[in-house]
């Protein structure tokens, strides 16, 4: 194994572990999404658009067990894409995966519309509400009519006690995994308070404003929730 691959294996392992501490139901989340896609997409070949494909978790969760699916992933982070590329090679998915460093703006203009899309753990990193709306609208434009879209994001209102209560639940995941309470408080200060959170209702309004319909929250764990919706 080359030094670069070894480095990426370590990065991937850390990312894998930490995501599952932060979201203890992470594996179930991906299994639920897979079930929904499978029923919606049926047996035929399908193209999936992955927003924030860095890290490769969507690819490793859905790639091997759905040989009829092809994946186009976008992510601006070179480091996160390196992890994804490492997984693609490890799992032998090269012929069904295309990874693009960038955003939806960088997708090839000639690409046919996609059968389904996901945007998992990305929206809360986009600071501006208009930018969030632009992203959701650009995803909708890339999908076929009736296509399913899955959005998973942290949500809430930084000023409300409801979020503070969920934050305590989230902190308990890390403390129970062996982290010092002071270390977890520092993670909240340096990372969580910087997330750009919207209340659930506003996220649903943004999805509707972007042109999505049948908006249903299907998932919630700690700081995060997931919505299923469809293009018209």
Ligand X SMILES: C[S@@+](CC[C@H](N)C(=O)[O-])C[C@H]1O[C@@H](n2cnc3c(N)ncnc32)[C@H](O)[C@@H]1O
Q: Please, what is the minimum distance in Å from the beta carbon of residue 56 to ligand X?
A: 8
Query: Applying CB under 6 A, does 52 fall inside the site for ligand X?
Result: yes
Helix residue ranges, H only, 42-120 = 57-62, 78-91
Query: Applying CB under 6 A, does 125 fall inside the site for ligand X?
Result: yes
Judge whether 138 and 105 are in contact, CB under 8 Å.
yes
Q: Please, what is the minimum distance in Å from the beta carbon of residue 209 to ligand X?
A: 18
Structure tokens at 116: 């389904």
Rounded CA-CA distance 231/115 in Å is 10
Residues 6-35 that bind ligand X (CB under 6 A): 19
Q: Please, what is the minimum distance in Å from the beta carbon of residue 192 to ligand X?
A: 13
Helix (H) or strand (E) holding 199: none
Judge whether 47 and 124 are in contact, CB under 8 Å.
no
Query: Applying CB under 6 A, does 121 fall inside the site for ligand X?
Result: yes
CA 182 from centroid of its chain's CA atoms = 28
Per CB under 6 A, the list member of 33, 41, 48, 51 interacting with ligand X is: 51
Residues lying near ligand X in the complex (CB under 6 A)? 19, 51-52, 54-55, 57, 74-77, 80, 103, 120-122, 125-126, 135
């Amino acid at each position: 194994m080359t030094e670069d691959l070894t480095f990426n294996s370590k990065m991937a392992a850390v990312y894998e572990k930490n995501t599952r501490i932060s979201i203890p139901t992470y594996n179930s989340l991906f299994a639920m999404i897979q079930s929904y896609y499978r029923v919606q997409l049926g047996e035929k070949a399908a193209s999936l658009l992955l927003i924030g494909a860095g890290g490769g978790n969507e690819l490793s969760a859905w790639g091997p067990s759905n040989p009829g699916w092809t994946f186009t992933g976008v992510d601006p982070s070179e480091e996160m894409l390196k992890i994804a590329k490492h997984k693609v090679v490890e799992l032998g998915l090269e012929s069904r995966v295309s990874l693009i460093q960038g955003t939806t703006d960088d997708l090839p203009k000639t690409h046919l519309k996609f059968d389904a899309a996901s945007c998992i753990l990305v929206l809360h990193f986009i600071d501006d509400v208009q930018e969030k709306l632009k992203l959701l609208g650009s995803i909708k434009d890339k999908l076929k009519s009736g296509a399913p879209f899955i959005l998973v994001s942290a949500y809430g209102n930084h000023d409300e006690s409801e979020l503070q209560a969920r934050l305590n639940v989230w902190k308990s995941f890390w403390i129970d995994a062996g982290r010092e309470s002071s270390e977890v408080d520092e993670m909240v200060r340096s990372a969580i308070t910087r997330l750009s959170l919207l209340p659930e209702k506003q996220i649903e309004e943004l999805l509707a404003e972007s042109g999505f319909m049948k908006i249903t929250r299907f998932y919630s764990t700690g700081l995060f929730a997931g919505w299923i919706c469809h293009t018209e």
